[in-house]
């Protein structure tokens, strides 16, 4: 599934908010992001809304067990 | 009109019917319709819960309890949407096929008990969404008193409080198939793992949540007020482990939070 956004755009957008996104990939239409360190939930939410505005339909952070 | 007057108007209308069967999920909308019907015509009103793979077991248990709380005669009816390939292929018309089957089965019960009316809990707020299921109800002449009297979801909750129903603030549940994006097949295994995964979140005390199934990727949505807690490192890895045990290959939390299906 394609997305109007690219991995580099997502990482750069996060960097512009002083958030370190170390990886981003598409999995069945869902953008899965990895952060190092993980920012506070309010920051994640804001970034999620901004990336949605930029064209990401579903934007998530992966949860490791 | 205030709540009492609106309730009086609807129950007066219901008294024109000798018997009413209410499609009863146990959610606040159908609970209010069932309570109004019982208030209007007593035991000539009957609540019927359609049981299928798209109904979470917890919802059925709660439906039994709320019917008992209302006092209305209650029965269950089993059917399987999964028998209909038009449903399982999961197009944007999925709800039309589901509701068509559901109400055709309910009609059989209505006929058996001599009910001239089959009622649903559709409310005025349902109209704004893309809900092909409503078209199936309209085709079948389903009585929708809350919609007819322009009662919004907030109004339904006011009714429920006025009527003393414990479900007045119950979060909307919706059919489990709504967790599967259109175009991805609805299967029994997918519905089961969604149900199990949502039970995990329920077990951790979340109130407003969905687990969306993207071919084995569990996309967790929780309400904004619960977003802080879902990221709590003391519980999130355990949630992930338990959801993977339910059959998902990857677990991810949606950064935008919970959105009702159709508003994605």
Would you tell me which residues 6-45 of chain A have a C-beta closer than 8 angstroms to some C-beta of chain B? 27-30, 32-33, 38, 41-42, 44-45
Predicted local confidence at residue B56, as pLDDT:
93
Contacts of B84 (CB under 8 A, 6+ apart): B97, B101
Q: What is the pLDDT of residues B178-226, one digit of tens each?
A: 999 999 999 999 999 999 999 999 999 999 999 999 999 999 999 999 9
Query: Average pLDDT of B104-128?
Result: 94
Pick the closest to residue B140 from B111, B185, B107, B174 (CA basis). Answer: B107
* Residue B257 sits at the chain A interface (C-beta within 8 Å): yes
pLDDT computed for residue B264 by the predictor: 47
What is the tens place of the pLDDT at every residue in A22-56?
A: 999 999 999 999 999 999 999 999 999 999 999 99
Question: How many other CB atoms sit within 10 Å of the CB of residue A1?
Answer: 9
ipTM: 0.95
Q: Which residue intervals of B18-177 are DSSP H helices?
A: 28-41, 57-70, 85-88, 94-113, 132-139, 145-148, 153-162
- The total of other beta-carbon atoms located within 10 Å of residue B118's CB is 21
The pLDDT-based confidence of A65 (bands split at 50, 70, 90) is confident
**pLDDT above 80 (res B74):** yes
Residue range B213-234, pLDDT digits in tens: 999 999 999 999 999 999 999 9
All residues of chain A having their beta carbon less than 8 Å from the beta carbon of residue B181 are 29
Average pLDDT for B38-57: 96
Residue B263 — pLDDT band, cuts 50, 70, 90? very low
Task: Please give the average per-residue pLDDT across B53-70, as a whole number.
Answer: 95
B231 vs A contacts (CB less than 8 Å): 38, 41, 44
Res A13 pLDDT > 80: yes
pLDDT digits (tens, 9 = 90+) for B134-171: 999 999 999 999 999 999 999 999 999 999 999 999 98
Q: Is B1 on the interface with A (CB under 8 A)?
A: no
pLDDT at B143: 97
Instruction: Taking residues B93-104, report their average pLDDT.
Output: 94
Calculate mean pLDDT across residues B229-248.
96
| Chain A residues touching B256 at Cβ < 8 A | 45, 48-49, 52, 59
- Reported as a single tens digit per residue, the pLDDT across B5-39 is 999 999 999 999 999 999 999 999 999 999 999 99
Q: Enter the tokens of residue B175.
A: 């059919």
> With helix as H, strand as E and coil as C, how does chain A read?
CCCCCCHHHHHHHHHHCCCCEEEEEEECCEEEEEECCCCCHHHHHHHHHHHHHCCCCEEEEECCC
Nearest Cβ partner for A63 among B181, B212, B251: B251
The β-bridge relationship of strands A30-35 and B209-214 is unpaired
Q: Which of B40, B41, B47, B49 is nearest to B21 (CA)?
A: B47
User: Is the Cβ pair A65, B240 closer than 8 Å?
Assistant: yes
DSSP state at residue B187: -
């Amino acid at each position: 599934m394609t997305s109007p956004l690219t991995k580099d755009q997502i990482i750069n957008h996060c960097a512009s908010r002083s958030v370190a996104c170390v990886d981003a990939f598409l999995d069945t239409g869902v953008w899965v992001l990895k952060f190092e360190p993980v920012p506070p939930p309010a920051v994640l939410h804001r970034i999620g809304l901004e990336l949605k505005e930029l064209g990401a339909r579903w934007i998530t952070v992966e949860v490791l067990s | 009109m205030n709540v009492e007057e609106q309730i009086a108007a609807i129950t007066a209308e219901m008294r024109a019917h000798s018997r009413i069967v209410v499609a009863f999920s146990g959610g606040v909308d159908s609970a209010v319709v069932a309570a109004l019907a019982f208030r209007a015509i007593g035991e000539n009103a009957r609540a019927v819960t359609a049981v299928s793979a798209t109904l979470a077991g917890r919802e059925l248990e709660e439906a039994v309890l709320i019917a008992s709380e209302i006092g209305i005669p209650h029965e269950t009816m089993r059917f399987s949407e999964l028998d209909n390939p038009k449903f399982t292929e999961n197009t944007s018309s999925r709800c039309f096929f589901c509701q068509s089957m559901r109400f055709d089965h309910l009609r059989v019960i209505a006929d058996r008990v001599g009910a001239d009316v089959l009622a649903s809990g559709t409310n005025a707020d349902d109209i704004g969404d893309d809900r092909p299921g409503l078209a199936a109800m309209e085709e079948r002449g389903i009585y929708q008193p809350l919609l007819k009297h322009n009662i919004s979801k907030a109004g339904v909750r006011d009714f429920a409080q006025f009527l003393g129903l414990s479900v007045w603030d119950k979060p909307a549940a919706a059919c489990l198939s709504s967790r599967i994006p259109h175009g991805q097949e609805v299967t029994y295994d997918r519905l089961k793992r969604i149900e199990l995964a949502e039970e995990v979140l329920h077990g951790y005390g979340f109130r407003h949540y969905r687990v969306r199934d993207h071919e084995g990727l569990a996309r967790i949505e929780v309400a904004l007020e619960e977003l802080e807690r879902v990221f709590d490192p003391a519980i999130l890895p355990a949630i992930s482990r338990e959801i993977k045990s339910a059959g998902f290959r990857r677990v991810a939390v949606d950064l935008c939070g919970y959105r009702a299906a159709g508003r994605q």
